[in-house]
């Protein structure tokens, strides 16, 4: 399947999702200029395929507009490295989306049946599940690509060689292995080959809600406290992605360590830093 065929399939998936969630979204209070999801609630993520669609759309802009959006994208990448929540670079002065017709699925799936006003969105549980299923289908369609924060995906696609190789379907697992081998890594290692630390701790969700933010810097500090990267069995497994719903008491993440002392240190740090923020959304409050 070439790029054009994949692009067509992407928009078919978008349309199918909108058809399925229409009974739920018809109750939404969202309107033009309401940009809470684009600033302090949602994560503006994208696949490489969605990134290509956006870049193609931007080709129709004039030089000044391109220069302005490139500056905004650079600022966004810089801010994202230092903060969990950053304003989408495609929001204009009126809080409207400048790429609305080609916005990625992470934006399309967001809505709320009450005004957010900094409190977080309220969505239907079934719509949330449909969004997770559709996200998986989009990733499978772009199986040899990448997923990530939108401004980083666009930057990756514009790097010399990557975008061309991806479109020519030359960006494959074998090419990725070549990169690993060139950096003195083991390109043949499998997930099952990595033994996880025998000491573990699950950080529980403090309440029902949705994952509003994940503090990457805090995650790194906790992982290092557990012994990573020196201890190969140490690390953190995130149980949720941003935007997903969690119930009180569910494990938000699991810490792994090779010895109990380091696990205790990491557990104490995790309880102090609370690297995953749960907010707002009351799953199942609205029925129908």
Confidence of residue 32 (pLDDT cuts 50, 70, 90): confident
Backbone angles phi, psi at 131, to 5 degrees: -65, -40
Q: Which residue has the higher pLDDT, 10 or 126?
A: 10
36-50, 61-75, 126-140, 250-264: which range is least confident on average? Answer: 36-50
The tens digit of pLDDT for each residue in 124-171 reads 888 888 988 999 999 999 887 888 889 988 988 887 666 666 666 665
Position 42 pLDDT exceeds 60? no
The tens digit of pLDDT for each residue in 72-125 reads 999 988 887 766 567 899 999 888 999 999 999 999 988 888 887 666 677 888
E strand segments, 19-118: 45-47
Give the whole-angstrom CA distance, residue 3 versus residue 163.
Answer: 12
Q: Which residue has the higher pLDDT, 161 or 20?
A: 20
H/E stretch holding 51 reads helix 48-58
Instruction: For the domain made up of 192-279, give the CATH fold.
Output: Aldehyde Oxidoreductase; domain 3 (3.90.1170)
Q: Assign 54 to helix, strand or coil.
A: helix
Give the whole-angstrom CA distance, residue 77 versus residue 51.
Answer: 15
End-to-end CA, the chain: 38
Report pTM.
Answer: 0.65
Domain ranges of the chain: 3-158, 192-279
């Amino acid at each position: 399947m070439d790029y054009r065929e994949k692009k067509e399939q992407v928009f078919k998936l978008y349309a199918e999702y909108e058809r399925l969630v229409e009974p739920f979204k018809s109750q939404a209070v969202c309107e033009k200029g309401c940009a809470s999801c684009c600033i302090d609630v949602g994560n503006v993520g994208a696949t490489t395929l969605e990134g290509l669609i956006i870049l193609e759309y931007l080709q129709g802009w004039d030089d000044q507009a391109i220069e302005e959006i490139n500056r905004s994208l650079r600022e966004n990448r810089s801010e994202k490295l230092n903060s969990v929540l950053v304003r989408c670079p495609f929001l204009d002065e009126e809080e409207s989306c400048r790429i609305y017709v080609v916005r990625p699925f992470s934006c399309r799936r967001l809505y709320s049946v009450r005004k957010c006003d900094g409190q977080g969105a309220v969505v239907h549980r079934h719509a949330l599940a449909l969004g997770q299923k559709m996200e998986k289908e989009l990733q499978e369609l772009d199986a040899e690509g990448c997923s990530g924060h939108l401004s980083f995906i666009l930057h990756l696609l514009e790097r010399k060689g990557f975008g061309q190789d991806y479109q020519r379907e030359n960006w494959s697992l074998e090419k990725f292995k070549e990169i690993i081998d060139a950096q003195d890594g083991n390109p043949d290692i499998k997930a099952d080959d990595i033994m996880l630390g025998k000491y573990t701790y699950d950080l529980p969700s403090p309440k029902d809600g949705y994952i509003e933010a994940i503090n990457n810097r805090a995650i790194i500090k906790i992982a290092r406290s557990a012994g990573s990267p020196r201890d190969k069995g140490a690390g953190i497994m995130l149980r949720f992605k941003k935007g997903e719903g969690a119930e009180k008491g569910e494990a938000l993440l699991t810490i792994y360590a090779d010895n109990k002392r380091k696990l205790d240190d990491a557990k104490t740090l995790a309880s102090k830093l609370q690297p995953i923020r749960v907010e707002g959304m009351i799953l199942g409050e609205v029925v129908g």
